[in-house]
Amino acid sequence: MSKIKVAHIITQLELGGAQENTLYTVTHLDPQVYDCFLIAGKGGLLDEKAVSVLGTKAIFVSSLVRAVHPWNDLVSLFVIYRLCRKEKFDLVHTHSSKAGILGRWAAKLAGVKKIIHTFHGFGFNDFQKPWTRWFFIWAERVTAVITAKLVVVSAENTKKALDCKIGQPAQYVVIHSGIKVSDYLPLTMDKARARKKIGLAENAPLVGMVACLKPQKAPLDFIRIAQLVKIKKPQVKFILIGDGDLRPAIEDLIKKLFLENTVLLLGWREDVPALIKLMDVCVLTSLWEGLPRVILEAFVSGIPMVATPADGTREVIKDGLTGFLVDFHDLESFAAKIIVCLEDPEKSKKIIENAAQLVTGSFNIEIMVQEIAHLYERLGENKYDR
């Protein structure tokens, strides 16, 4: 029996949950059943890793960029269309907003019969200008018509999409964005030595955030929160793991607030599981999300979480039970909840115990891949044709 030829298309392979999970899926679907390709724009931090594991089946389209660019977008549409015609994919599975729109229409024009899209988050959000938000919602509405299944990483995402009249209820499937639980559970280390390696005192309380430094994640809020916590607890240190366009602005704010000895910018790291284990509190200041993997990583690592109620975050953090939810840009409340976690170990312990019970089954990355494979099987049985 011939293999099922599948193409996953994503805008860029930057270091983020959507990209890492997509690459993991492509490389862990049963190779006896699926012949997987990965198509992406150039310039992501995971490009080399993709090539190392996929070889020539990792295909890069230089015109596929994140920003709206009519000429590049038209070129990308044509290039992806040509690839779909040449390779004769049985199924195309798109990820991220730009690749999701262009990839699905290219696949449709090329005659691909099975088309799936995963919303790891939405290209539209409540913080955009109204006409920008309307345009992205309209693009998702018309593209949903040619899509067999719309995968979301949380039930909250389904509700939001349907409220925006994107697709029909029967099109939606929830497949949680999984983490590799085994990378976190057995992790043991010499914490004092690990802290020293990144320039921290052995006993300094540590608050951390893992995020791409872009407006979506509101990392400047994290720096301002650090200043507020420092006023009441000057011994607390903060680490920000990640990089991106806002790094210069973050560095300027750190200097302006005299936080050079309080906040460490660690950039992108490959030892994120170990760094999360060093934290006393994990923070996420995002304005919008799909389902942030870092929350699940903190849960498995036994670290209390303080985050904004962004989309799928509300599905896993129940305020005061599995973590703390703080409204967007509410810096004072963020600081207060962080201090609660640091000063009330019994409260933190109970939160950690409750949170750990959530990260089972569907939040495991291996289960995620199995559920994606099951979806493909159902499509192969023509149960979800459009």
Q: For residue 362, how many other CB atoms are within 10 A of its CB?
A: 14
CATH, range 4-178+364-380 = 3.40.50.2000
Give the pLDDT confidence of 164-220 residue by residue, as tens digits. 999 999 999 999 988 888 777 655 677 778 888 888 877 889 999 999 999 999 999
N-terminal to C-terminal alpha carbon distance within the chain:
25
Model confidence pLDDT, tens digit, residues 88-129: 999 999 999 999 999 999 999 999 999 999 999 898 988 889
Q: Is the pLDDT of residue 16 over 90?
A: no
Within 8 A by CB and 6+ apart from 307, the residues are 283, 284, 285, 286, 292, 295, 313, 317, 323, 324, 325, 326
pTM over 0.85: yes
Instruction: Tell me the per-residue pLDDT of 39-62, one tens digit each, with 9 for 90 and over.
Output: 999 998 899 999 999 999 999 999
pLDDT over 90 percentage in the chain: 76
Residue 138 exposed, middle or buried by CB count within 10 Å (0-12, 13-18, 19+): middle
| Helices 293-301/17-28 angle, 10° precision | 80
Structure tokens at 304: 């209390």
CATH topology of domain 181-361: Rossmann fold (3.40.50)
Q: What are the start and end residues of each CATH 3.40.50.2000 domain in the chain?
A: 4-178+364-380, 181-361
| Rounded Cα gap, residues 66 and 315, in angstroms | 28
Q: Exposed, middle or buried, 263 (CB in 10 Å: 0-12/13-18/19+)?
A: buried
Task: Write out the H or E segment, with its range, that includes residue 210.
Answer: strand 206-210
Kindly list the distances between the CA atom of residue 60 and the CA atoms of 71, 319, 349, in Å, as whole numbers in the listed order.
17, 42, 46
Per DSSP, 186 falls in state: T
Summary mean pLDDT of the chain: 92
* pLDDT recorded at residue 1: 66
Question: Which helix (DSSP H) or strand (DSSP E) does residue 206 occupy?
Answer: strand 206-210
**pLDDT tens readout for residues 230-270:** 999 999 999 999 999 999 999 999 999 999 999 999 999 88
For residue 101, the one-letter residue type is I
CA nearest to 11, candidates 41, 50, 46: 41
